[in-house]
Structure 1
């Protein structure tokens, strides 16, 4: 139902201060207002999503229709159906998360003709989503053939905003599973024949735009299966801080996948883009693609998702991106990038032959700031990402060797050499090799590394 985006390194201390300002601005933003400009001119927009319940004949929740929302106003201002749906998909799967948005229920997602034929539709797990074909999509031979293919892939297809029993609808019914009848557009006298014809084909009937008790009683008596409308509930607004993905990063990623590169090259490219890693982890840990065990390295995330899913995800994020700030102007993203690389370099210094330890250190740095990025607590954020226990304990509690590396990174970001030295002494063992001179050198290398990518 269509509802009425190797220069000299910037000092890490400055990046840390900027990130602190960013976090404070997030906390003090008004709950029901769009985020404003921070002290450093960094925009902090939220993303919004509407969901409207679809109920069964007993009044129990059966599914949600997911709706585009561009602001705090609970209405759809859609000028591009494909873009709106791409943003709904990105927000549901990459930022809010499928379990948060849907729980155990199905989600109905609007599909324009353009998106029906786009490979990114396969990012939606068929066991969780219904593809809702918009009313203005012409059901020609090409579309019907595509619907047949999508149904063979396991998707359920719904026709949206049906108002009359036309010849086109009769011809297309074999290609659908669900028919949504618009009560505001359909003539009451024609509803019995329409409902009977759809039911005779074994299709599920949904009455949408049910606005009164009289509406509900009438269509309930006609045998409709499911119901949606203001009589039951207006769309609920969900909100999360935007997680940006650099357009340049996404273009590079797509180019690498198109070149059929190996996992190592994909991993190398992803390392320079923390925001894409965050969303990739959400994708990997969604119900359809979860590997059945915690993810402890970027390589495991790439292998679990597969190159084709990574390509689809990059396409979707690129499609859904707006006029986002360059990464170089976002202090929180800069801090996540420099911290993660500093921790990786320090881990390689401690254990030159232990690639897994270095990978885990990098991931710990990335996810040590995700709770600020998504406006949540460390424990809640980590629970949704399904990371390995060692990484989770390092981020939420600073325990273990990874936790010590994180504490060292934070001390270096503040320029507190005394604290860094005290931490090295406390850790003992192989940490003793991390002299003040070496820590300072690693910190500079990490800052230069991120700046080179952010400005590239």
Structure 2
């Protein structure tokens, strides 16, 4: 990512005042959420965009244990916590993305005209990722490539699928900088000089034809703060249950009224530029209609994963297990039926709810019947019926770590033979890596 984590260089050239936050009290970490933003300037020194950065507290440096978790919380805080207009004004925001999040439905919570997806240097390019980037660009997103410091075959292969290339001025040798910049520019890409820390570097970047500039020479990141909105985990589960069975607006409205913090964030979401309504939404019913149930489900899932509830993620193994299981089932469903989003959504929901009875200290029948879950999801959990039940059995086998059992049974539905042990093992690792983002003790 684009900031420095250790060195501190006073801002020069352009002054940006940091927010003054009284975050020294013992309870301050539970009362506020924080977000960093660093200006990105054009050749004339005018503000062009911000890079949005994870902050665990009022201190102005990153403490990141997992890139995906940091990004999920940056998105949650920008859209639902502080609000897009307050964070970005009329500018775009660059957000760091790892491979798992690029493929996750959560990406579509971000308005494409307001956010730039910045691919971390750890992401491996392949044909699957190239197709996904094509989809995201067609949806209106700009794609930036982060921390480029040398010419490579991988860089050349990635250029057709990105719009902006960020060249790291601290890591790039001066003897290769001109050639690297020329090659990128000849491919028609926007050049962004990052980690510019001296006047000489700024002058060199301008001379080499860079379009955008970012670094401590201009300004350190600014820390924004907002009161924390705690979301009720049971309330989020009830909301997801309603969404899983296509509940009507009246039912959704009644449930949301019991969760004020979710309502506040939902109104911020729909009042952002994501929906291009050209007017502000004031009522809850209007917000539900304008947002759509799929967007509400995405938001509820993000809140459920980002909120540690009564325990931090690292101390809540049931939440970790449910999250990994739900992601595994979603990936497997996508593998079986790539064009069936409803099936993938139902698989994810099945995984989420398959351990809720343990979390709430009850039985599956009692909890799921009270929630009024969609019948196919309820039967998959209680009776292990249908395609969703078969996926749940596979998920449980994957958790046991027995490779021999990672194969659909003889009674599995048609098409399940495609889920070979090798495929299931790969999906299980991907799911574990994705949800590993949420086990660190960081609150939204």
| TM range, smaller chain | 0.5 to 0.7
In structure 2, distance between residues paired with 1:32 and 1:227: 31
Matched, 1:146 2:136: no
Tell me the distance in 2 between the aligned counterparts of 1:48 and 1:74.
10
Counterpart position of 2:299: 313
Superposed displacement of residue 90, structure 1: 0.9
Aligned to 1:446: none
Provide the aligned C-alpha RMSD in A.
1.9
Matched, 1:240 2:226: yes
State the Cα deviation string for residues 339-368 of structure 1 (Å, max 9, x = none): xxxxxxxxxxxxxxxxxxxxxxxxxxxxxx
Aligned to 1:77: 63
For structure 1, which runs of at least 5 residues remain unmatched after alignment? 5-29, 327-456
Task: Answer yes or no: is 1:123 the counterpart of 2:113.
Answer: no
Matched-pair contact (CA < 8 Å) for 1:94–1:279: yes
Q: Does 1:225 align with 2:204?
A: no
Q: Could you tell me how far 1:296 is from its partner in structure 2? A: 4.3
Shift in Å, 1:35: 4.9
Q: Does 1:266 align with 2:266?
A: no
Which of these residues, 287, 292, 307, is aligned with residue 301 of structure 1?
Answer: 287
When the two structures are aligned, how many residues end up with a matched partner? 297
The alpha carbon displacement at 1:2 in A equals 5.0
* CA displacement, residues 28-84 of structure 1 (integer Å, 9 cap, x when unaligned): xx933255449xxxx842111100000111111110000000011100110011111
* Consecutive aligned runs of 4 or more in structure 1 exceeding 4 Å deviation: 323-326
For residues 263 and 249 of structure 1, the distance between their equivalents in structure 2, rounded to whole angstroms, comes to 16
Matched, 1:160 2:146: yes
SS of 1:191's equivalent in the other structure is helix
SS of the residue 1:110 aligns to = strand
What CA distance in whole angstroms lies between the structure 2 residues aligned with 1:177 and 1:324? 42
In 1, the alpha carbon distance for the partners of 2:2 and 2:233 equals 28
Which residue matches 1:453?
A: none
Whole-Å separation in 2 of the counterparts to 1:203 and 1:219: 15
For residues 112 and 278 of structure 2, what CA distance do their matches in structure 1 show?
19
Partners of 1:68 and 1:284 lie apart in 2 by 23
Shift of 1:184: 1.1
Contact kept? 1:2, 1:134, Cα under 8 Å? no
Q: Which runs of 5+ in 2 are unaligned?
A: 6-19, 313-444
* Mapped partners of 2:206, 2:279: distance in 1: 45
Mapped partners of 1:207, 1:294: distance in 2 = 37
In 1, distance between residues paired with 2:142 and 2:124? 18
Query: Bigger CA drift: 291-300 or 83-92?
Result: 291-300
**What is the CA–CA distance in structure 1 between the aligned matches of 2:202 and 2:282, rounded to whole Å?**
51
Per-residue deviation, 1:268: 2.1
Residue in 1 that maps onto 2:22: 32
